[in-house]
């Protein structure tokens, strides 16, 4: 049995211990490992993963460019062990070391919000808006009466982006991108009670499920951003590319393991938000502004998260006053968003702003020909190695 097979079997065995939340976001690996996993008690699987962590240097993959797989395996093992101890077996771990394991690197310092605000204001002024608040007030609202209308809205966006990508990315990937996109199969459903009003999940073999609530009002820019982030050129494209790698034969088995918390999350989420930077300006002007506003808000909430969870201080007044002044948020909205980012989703929310910074820096540093390598399941540490190895001299 290979090191990768043994590792995957233990992770699959561990999955049964997660009663209140999922361990796997998607599993694209071999199904024939599951019977062996079903015979292993979860606590025994956790002990085996800790043993494998100690054997990685002797038995694990090489750490060669461009994948740096030994580094990724190390990050993955630490992440899965942390998930099991925190969320399955409810063991207490200091927060910052736990987040370092879940994300694959320590939380970076806060953002310089004054500089970020100047940047987003410049984009807004160029688009004819004086502030985020004015931009939010003037956004077009949209509501779908039926699923056919909703599906047409989504497919119209995807058809345009697909055509643009095929033009801009000709020769970008070492295979036929059109053939990859042709594998995409999306189905549309009405979210059930308890599900978010908008969601996406990858089902495997090119299939994805899109849930968007009917007869509920959204801003058009929010829905367009959702389609671009979750589908193409965002997460759905990421999974299509990963599926292709898994099916090629001889691929690293760990490519098929996508856990809910994962060291690849900052890279994956960063690519979804910043896909326009990777592929070129595929966003129309209104969508571009929506992304700039989204990036600024992620950075503001990250600073609040950092104060509460890393610095162990109250959020304070400054960030809330900035959001009230610039974004027009009410006091109740600010309290709700602070609660979500600093408490409810505190183990996941930071991957968005961290990922945005990662991908912005990578796209500036890497030669364009190396950019497809961003889709090869990287962690923050492997992406840093990739950037050093492939940056133009």
pLDDT at 353: 97
Q: Rounded distance, CA 233 to CA 238, Å?
A: 8
Full 3-state SS string of 57-112: HHHCCCCCCCCCHHHHHHHHHHHHHHHHHHHHCCCCCCHHHHHHHHHCCCCCCCCC
pLDDT at 173: 86
* This prediction's pTM: 0.94
Lowest mean pLDDT among 191-195, 268-272, 366-370: 366-370
Q: Rounded distance, CA 313 to CA 46, Å?
A: 34
- φ/ψ bin of 40: left (φ > 0), alpha (ψ from -120 to 50), beta (otherwise): beta
pLDDT at 282: 61
For 106-134, what is each residue's pLDDT tens digit?
Answer: 999 999 999 999 999 999 999 999 999 99
pLDDT at 350: 98
Is the model's pLDDT at 370 over the cut of 90? no
**Do residues 221 and 286 make contact, with C-beta atoms less than 8 angstroms apart?**
yes
Q: Where are the beta strands (DSSP E) in the chain?
A: 24-27, 141-142, 185-189, 198-204, 207-212, 218-219, 257-259
Nearest to 18 by CA among 84, 65, 74: 84
Lowest mean pLDDT among 49-63, 235-249, 298-312: 235-249
The first and second tokens of residue 249, run together, are 């034969």
Q: What is the average per-residue pLDDT within 282-289?
A: 75
Mean pLDDT of the chain: 93
Q: What is the average per-residue pLDDT within 232-259?
A: 90
200: β partners: 210
pLDDT at 294: 93
The first and second tokens of residue 168, run together, are 């801009």
Instruction: Report how many helices (DSSP H) and strands (DSSP E) the chain contains, helices first.
Output: 18, 7
Which residue would you say has higher pLDDT here, 164 or 159?
A: 159
Top-confidence range, 16-20, 216-220, 313-317: 313-317
Q: Locate the domains of the chain by residue range.
A: 113-390
Instruction: Tell me the angle at which helices 285-309 and 318-327 cross, rounded to the nearest 10 degrees.
Output: 160
Query: Helix (H, G, I), strand (E, B), or coil: what is residue 382?
Result: helix
Q: Rounded distance, CA 357 to CA 352, Å?
A: 9
Is the model's pLDDT at 281 over the cut of 70? no
């Amino acid at each position: 049995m290979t090191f990768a097979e043994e590792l995957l079997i233990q992770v699959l065995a561990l999955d049964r211990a997660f009663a209140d939340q999922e361990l796997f976001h998607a599993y694209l690996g071999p199904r024939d490992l599951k019977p062996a996993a079903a015979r292993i008690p979860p606590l025994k699987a956790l002990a085996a993963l800790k043993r494998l962590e100690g054997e990685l240097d002797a038995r694990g993959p090489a750490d060669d460019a461009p994948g740096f797989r030994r580094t990724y395996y190390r990050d993955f093992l630490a992440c899965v062990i942390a998930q099991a101890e925190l969320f399955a077996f409810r063991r207490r771990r200091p927060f910052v070391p736990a987040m370092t394991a879940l994300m694959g690197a320590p939380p970076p310092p806060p953002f310089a919000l004054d500089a970020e605000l100047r940047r987003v204001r410049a984009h807004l002024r160029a688009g004819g808006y004086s502030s985020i608040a004015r931009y939010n007030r003037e956004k077009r609202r949209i509501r779908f009466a039926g699923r056919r209308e909703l599906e047409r809205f989504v497919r119209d966006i995807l058809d345009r982006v697909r055509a643009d990508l095929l033009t801009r990315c000709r020769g970008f990937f070492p295979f036929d991108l059109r053939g990859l996109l042709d594998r995409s199969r999306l189905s549309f459903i009405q979210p059930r009670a308890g599900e978010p009003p908008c969601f996406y999940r990858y089902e495997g073999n090119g299939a994805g499920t899109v849930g968007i609530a009917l007869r509920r009002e959204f801003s058009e820019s929010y829905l367009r951003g959702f389609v671009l982030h979750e589908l193409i050129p965002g997460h759905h494209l990421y999974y299509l590319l990963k599926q292709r790698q898994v099916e090629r034969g001889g691929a690293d088995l760990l490519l098929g393991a996508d856990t809910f918390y994962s060291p690849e999350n900052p890279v994956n989420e960063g690519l979804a938000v910043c896909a326009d930077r990777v592929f070129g300006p595929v966003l129309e002007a209104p969508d571009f502004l929506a992304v700039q506003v989204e990036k600024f808000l992620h950075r503001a909430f990250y600073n609040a998260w950092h104060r509460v969870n890393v610095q162990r201080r109250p959020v304070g007044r400054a960030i809330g006053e900035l959001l009230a002044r610039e974004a027009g948020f009410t006091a109740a909205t600010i309290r709700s968003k602070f609660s979500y980012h600093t408490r409810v989703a505190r183990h996941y929310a930071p991957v968005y702003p961290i990922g945005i910074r990662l991908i912005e820096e990578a796209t500036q540093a890497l030669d364009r020909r190396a950019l497809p390598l961003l889709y090869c399941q990287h962690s923050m540490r492997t992406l840093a190695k990739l950037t050093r190895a492939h940056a133009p001299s």
